[in-house]
Amino acid sequence: MSSVYEYFISFTLAFIVAFSATPAVKSLAFKLGVVDVPKDSRRMHKNPIALLGGLAIIAGFFVSILFSVVSSKLLNVETALVFDTRFLGLIAGSLIIAVLGFIDDKVALSAKLKFPIQIVAALIVALTGTRIEFVTNPFSVIGISTFGPWISYPLTVIWIVGITNAINFIDGLDGLAAGVSSIASMSLFFVSVMRGNPDIRTAVLAAILAGSILGFLPYNFNPAKIFMGDTGATFLGFVLGTISIQGTYKSYTAIAIAVPLLVLALPLFDTLFAILRRVASGKSPMTADRGHLHHRLVDMGLTQKQSVSVIYVASAALGLCAVVLDYKGPVSAIILVIAVAIFIVGGSMYMSEVNSASKAKEVHYLYNPSRMSIIGGRKLDRLKVMTIFGTRPDAVKMAPLVKELERCDKIDSVVCVTAQHREMLDQVLKMFEITPQHDLNIMQSRQTLTGITTRALEGLEKVMEQEKPDIVLVHGDTTTCFVGSLAAFYKQIAVGHVEAGLRTFDKFSPYPEEMNRKLTGSMADIHLAPTQTNKENLLREGVSRDSIYITGNTVNDALKTTVKEDYTFQCEELKGIDFKNKRIIAVTAHRRENLGEPLHNICRALAAIVDKYDDVELVYTVHLNPVVQDTAKEILGGKERVHLIPPLDVQDMHNLMARSYMIMTDSGGIQEEAPTLGKPVLVLRKETERPEAVKAGTVRLAGTVESEIIEHASKLLDDKEDYDKMAKAVNPYGDGHASERIVNVLLYHFGLTDEIPEEFSV
């Protein structure tokens, strides 16, 4: 078969198969529940997106290969794809990677498990004949330095595994990894065919891979309909890593290893810098973050499409440099690299400036101070602020804000509580010495969301008619928060949303909180976000940048009131604990997803930790859920130096945390509170919706595997330096001044001060 026809047919068939298979793969992903839910700041999409798009790429790749081999047999024509050991090594290794990627997308495997399997797959390739056996050496007589097997095999494995993960690491924007991989494939294709002695097999494989990717890419462009997932990203990286060192790239030339390095330079260097950045900050090299090139471009102000375009141009330029290097020599390639670098940097800066200028022209009525100082036709000299809350958690977080509002001489503060949770709310009001001007007292026996909503809405309507506040402040994601926003909207009163921007992007998880906070966000005029991540969530939903302020979390303000050096515990069992001479580990574990075997693992790990360290005592506040109670009592009940106590009130819990050595929890709120107290937190979950804490080093994911929990706890108990590093890390959720920032934001936007509010930053 003519090589030109083989290139064309292989490319076209791979494209058609991948393009046709992608919709079916998308349906399969949703049926299997393999979707990507945007739970952290790294993710740039707003809604759950199907994974497994890599299956369509894999289908296109292998169907085209199979067709080429079968048709050559039936038509008795030659094909470049001969099943020798090297080719079989590529097939075997890539299938292992494909299966591993599929399982990873389905159940989220740990890096500790994936990495050895990737090494095995790469080793298969090396053992079957594809190896890096030399590099260019201008000081050598023959111009190269050859490697023996002790260097050749490890170097090949490192190369292939490195490229495998490099492509996966850059898969952070719609169409990015697929586009870069297709450009790399086409670059390898052109280098292969433009040689004096073309490497037809490598060219065919590169053409097939490019066709498969380009067939999938129309579904992956922004806004993406499907993601390739680890199934596709690791498969592409593995195949690219393998074919880039086959054929012509092993020939004895002056540019042997330079061609694949240039073709794959962008993902390689992005990955290298990511690893160095994480190791330098004391994190695992496999820990995800927002430091990749595509994240930095977005943070510069470029849109997703602009960021991807910049990286496409850079990849294409590097691919072109590889071709020029191979065809014209190093001098021409260097000149081209310099010219392209200047073009890309200049273009990125220009686009960033254009976007910044465009955003500066955005005008939001609420945030023009000269307009905000006029409310209902009157000029403001004082601001009337109504705070609304109704449960214990939002009362704890709103209480310090209420006290700060009361201290401000330009604000008249009005407090209205719905008493959605009567008894627990009263504890907080008493603790902070707050007397509400309005108490709706809506709680009823066996109350429903509908009942809470209707009673609160009717009560708040009357209160707002009576008080006529200039702005209403609501908190978080409770039903009281949503109804307070709705009542204010009906009365055309401005709404400030405290703790805005938290998202799971699944409206039924948590229920009804996720929908409550999203609906509140749609009605809010001022969004008071605790962190940069929350701000980014809001920006992705189209909220005006000028309406969002990063304030930190007010819960850390509350700790200044609740935690006291001379505090006397209300819980009798806590009164008898020797906090001075024992290392106390405070524990909470009760989340629904941990019930069953995970909770058994957690309790067994806790028992083992107490047995291992004589100076450790455990205080486990056991949730009232019978399943939690039974598991805790079965494994830990009656055990020496283990205290199983009922849930504590806020002040007891905060003071227990303050006096503990460290905290082990599956709670979300504790991850925000404990770092302010200088207490390391081990999160007893596989993931957290608070990635800022992991990035800051205030918490670590210990998971729910018994051995891993023991390992993480032991490190903090044995290694004082490691403990101090976590204990002294800056809390990304606040510095105890969030309430002050919120008051300053209100004064500025209502024209009562010209001082621009300072945002919280870590």
Active site residues: 477, 499, 513, 590, 592, 623
Evaluate whether 386-553+738-749 and 568-727 have a shared fold: yes
Phi, psi of 308 (to 5 degrees): -65, -40
Classify burial at 741, counting beta carbons within 10 Å of its beta carbon; exposed 0-12, middle 13-18, buried 19 or more. buried
pLDDT band at 71 (very low <50, low <70, confident <90, very high): confident
Q: Which two structure tokens, joined as six digits, stand for 522?
A: 């749609």
Q: What does the pLDDT average to over 464-493?
A: 95
Q: What is the pLDDT of residue 422?
A: 84
**422-432 vs 650-659: helix crossing angle, rounded to 10:** 60
DSSP string, 57-111: HHHHHHHHHHHHHHHHHHHT---S----HHHHHHHHHHHHHHHHHHHHHHH---H
Quick one: what percent of the chain has pLDDT higher than 70?
81
Separation CA 170–CA 269 (nearest Å) = 11
What's the start-to-end Cα distance of the chain, in Å? 63
Least confident of 248-252, 265-269, 462-466: 248-252
Q: Which two structure tokens, joined as six digits, stand for 492?
A: 């055309």
Is a pLDDT exceeding 80 seen at residue 263? Answer: no
Is 197 within any annotated ligand binding site? no
Least confident of 218-232, 280-294, 578-592, 682-696: 280-294
Separation CA 168–CA 162 (nearest Å) = 10
Query: For 394, which DSSP code?
Result: H
Phi, psi of 15 (to 5 degrees): -60, -50
Query: For 570, which DSSP code?
Result: S
**CB distance 417 to 390 below 8 Å:** yes
Separation CA 248–CA 131 (nearest Å) = 12
What CATH superfamily classification does 568-727 receive?
Glycogen Phosphorylase B; (3.40.50.2000)
pLDDT band at 720 (very low <50, low <70, confident <90, very high): very high
Q: What is the pLDDT of residue 254?
A: 36
Q: Which two structure tokens, joined as six digits, stand for 590?
A: 């009760």
Separation CA 18–CA 6 (nearest Å) = 18
Per DSSP, what are the bridge partners of residue 415? 387
Is a pLDDT exceeding 50 seen at residue 252? Answer: no
Separation CA 529–CA 535 (nearest Å) = 6
Separation CA 625–CA 645 (nearest Å) = 13
pTM comes to: 0.53
Helix H, strand E, coil C: the string for 167-197 is HHHCCCCCCHHHHHHHHHHHHHHHHHHCCCC
Q: What does the pLDDT average to over 722-728?
A: 93
Least confident of 478-492, 506-520, 713-727: 506-520
Cα 651 to chain centroid distance, Å, stands at 32
Q: What is the pLDDT of residue 363?
A: 34
- Between these two residues, 671 and 171, which has the higher pLDDT value? 671
Q: Which two structure tokens, joined as six digits, stand for 521?
A: 């966000």
Q: Which two structure tokens, joined as six digits, stand for 479?
A: 């039903």
Separation CA 636–CA 620 (nearest Å) = 10
Q: What does the pLDDT average to over 41-68?
A: 80
Amino acid at 155: L
CB count within 10 Å of CB 150 equals 8
Q: What is the pLDDT of residue 259?
A: 60
Is 168 within any annotated ligand binding site? yes
Give the chain's mean pLDDT.
83
pLDDT digits (tens, 9 = 90+) for 141-191: 555 667 778 888 998 999 899 889 888 877 777 888 888 889 888 888 888
Q: Domain 386-553+738-749, CATH 3.30.450.40 — does that match?
A: no
Rg of the chain over CA atoms, in angstroms?
Answer: 30
pLDDT band at 756 (very low <50, low <70, confident <90, very high): confident
- Between these two residues, 276 and 341, which has the higher pLDDT value? 276
pLDDT band at 76 (very low <50, low <70, confident <90, very high): low
Question: What are the extents of the domains in the chain?
Answer: 3-257, 386-553+738-749, 568-727
Q: Give me the residue label for tokens 């708040």.
A: 460
Nearest Cα neighbor of 506 from 138, 49, 15, 76 is 49
**CB distance 263 to 187 below 8 Å:** yes
